[in-house]
Amino acid sequence: MSFGSAALDRAIVARPIVLWRPMRTIRCVNGPVSTILTPAERHRVDAAGQGLYRTLHRDSIVDVVRDVRENRAAAILVSVARIEPADASHVASVVRQFPGVPAVALLTELQRETPHAVLSLGRCGVKLLIDARSPDGWRSLRQALSTSAQTDFGRTIITRLTADLADAREATVTFFTTLFTIPTSVTTVRALCAVLHTRANAFATRFHRLGLPSPRRYLTAARLTRAAHLFENPGLSIANVANALDYSSPQSLGRTIRTTLAMTPTAFRQAYDGLRMFDHFREELLLPYRQRLRRFDPVP
């Protein structure tokens, strides 16, 4: 794909920033998209994403960082036209601190400074550029930030769960996949039962009868797996992660980690990323019980 400018084409070749190609997805946008855009771009981005994503339009990188930490922003969208030389270090810091939050550059017009801005974004670590100077570009933006796209982490978990439970009943597979896909507001077994359309008492009894770990242990371990994945972002504090996962306080998250794993939140962050914690989940709560799970039906 060409931008129609030889200088800009050279800039894109010189840095590892990738033009958007249709039918390719990035990460699932479960939260809002924090943006730094021109006034005209704000309106067009909002129109393109109606029903797919919610935007938080900001005027500084500082505000974007606050969105990621406090408002659970799930993606960052930066206009090529808004990047100034002084912004480069700040953008690079955001990309470095939050590697799990996709950063996307948006091009809507060519200016004399555009090639330099593209190069600057590439150096900052922004690897995805959407050329929105045509209708196809805006459709690509919708697809890039669509809530229907799964994360690499989520795909890995679902794939491995499905393989581990290949001989299990469909309801059992659904229970395990639900643990990792339910909204973060589902923090109790009772709330989980509401999602599964079953009664809490009968639900727990079925686990007990087969000698399986309690539903609460499964839910707690799944939530800690999500926490470990969020902790992969150095820019997120314990308080940020606790808030993102709807723990009542950072202390509540800390107590859960200590009770479950006998370690501090700091040690937990150093010991586990998302996939390592998922491996712990499998080794402790799934693989030792695989024979029983083959005949298990969690929903009465």
pLDDT in tens, 3-14: 445 555 555 444
* CATH of segment(s) 152-293: 1.10.10.60
pLDDT at 110: 87
Q: Which pLDDT tens digit goes with each residue over 196-233?
A: 988 888 999 999 999 999 999 999 999 999 999 999 98
Task: Report pLDDT for 20.
Answer: 44
**Residue 291 pLDDT greater than 50, yes or no:** yes
Domain assignments of the chain as residue spans, ordered by start: 6-144, 152-293
Of the two residues 113 and 29, the one the predictor is more confident about is: 113
Q: How far apart are alpha carbons 96 and 83 in whole angstroms?
A: 17
Write out pLDDT tens, residues 18-60: 444 433 333 444 578 999 999 999 999 998 887 778 899 999 8
What is the reported pLDDT for 3?
Answer: 43
| Topology classification of domain 6-144 | Rossmann fold (3.40.50)
- Can you tell me which residue has the tokens 């996939």? 275
Rounded Cα distance between 59 and 82, Å, is 9
Integer Cα distance of 237 and 69 in angstroms:
8
pTM recorded for the entire structure: 0.70
Q: Hey, which bits of the chain come out as E strands?
A: 18-19, 33-36, 55-57, 75-79, 103-107, 128-131
